[in-house]
Amino acid sequence: MRPPLTICVLTYGPYAALARRAIDSIRRHCERSMYRLVVGANAPGEETWRYLVGLSGEGAIDRLHLSDVNLNKCPMMRRMFADIDTDYVWWFDDDSYVKDASALPAWLGRAQASPPDIAMWGHVWFFGSVSDFNYGTDVVGFVKRAPWYRGLEPPSWEPGGKGERNFEGKGTGDGRWFFATGGCWMIRTAALRALDWPDPGLVKRNDDVFLAEAVRQQGWTTMDVGAPGVAINTEPRRGVGEDAATMERQMASNRR
């Protein structure tokens, strides 16, 4: 019988301890009949490679994507999502992990009980202004050129931002960019398919912010469920793709 969700774990580099902690926590605390496990490994070290190949051989990993070079987060994510046929996807970066057996029932229960317009669940944060994350690039232009754009005004403090002209009685738009933090979130697989996510132009930087905006553009909602039973983003950022050059490359990717 097909399980309700696919758990995806993305590992990177020679950080075998993080890969082990993330994947072992899933195996320890999540009922195996409830999930398929898909793992992506960008430029894994030898210890990580041996660990993942061993688990795959045992059937503990249902699908393993190995790349000797670092494809980066979004390109590997596209590979991982390609053949998923469960109703939900539960995403983990390798520095997030399951703390106890309450996690899967809590997350999946909220998802299954949600109305159809709620497409995504996670620990929701927000940027108070586009300047908090845009590195000076044209984020609004990127959104409006994206294939998933549906005509809703992106967040902005200029009148009209998110359709607001007198937000909180201040005569402004709403400039807050809400998003589920990218280290751990759950989404309807049908939403991923409708969005063709990740956007092919994205590499890594602020992919979680753009996913939330893509969800909003369809008239759907991201529900803040906090972080029940999981630890999220427990390590400093690693790898390439955190710089202004990457953001500029992403924002220029769909420029006509």
What pLDDT was estimated at residue 247? 80
Could you give the 3-state DSSP secondary structure of residue 187? strand
Contact present, 38 and 7 (Cβ < 8 Å): yes
Domain coordinates of the chain in residue numbers?
5-123+179-245
Query: Distance between CA atoms of 242 and 84, rounded to whole angstroms?
Result: 28
* CATH homologous superfamily for the domain 5-123+179-245: Spore Coat Polysaccharide Biosynthesis Protein SpsA; Chain A (3.90.550.10)
Rounded to whole angstroms, the Cα distance separating 31 from 28 reads 8
C-beta of residue 120 within 8 angstroms of C-beta of residue 215? yes
Contacts of 178 (CB under 8 A, 6+ apart): 124, 125, 126, 212, 222
Ranges under pLDDT 70 in the chain: 256
Q: What are phi and psi of 43, to 5 degrees?
A: 50, 55
Predicted pLDDT at 256: 57
**Burial class of residue 168 in the structure, from the number of CB atoms within 10 Å of its CB (0-12 exposed, 13-18 middle, 19+ buried):** exposed
**Predicted TM-score of the model (pTM):** 0.95
The predicted-structure confidence for 64-122, as pLDDT tens digits, reads as follows 999 999 999 999 999 999 999 999 999 999 999 999 999 999 999 999 999 999 999 99
Kindly give, in sequence order, each residue whose CB lies less than 8 Å from that of residue 97, ignoring residues fewer than 6 positions away.
Answer: 21, 22, 25, 26, 230, 231, 234
- Helix/strand/coil for 35: strand
CB 53 within 8 A of CB 44: no
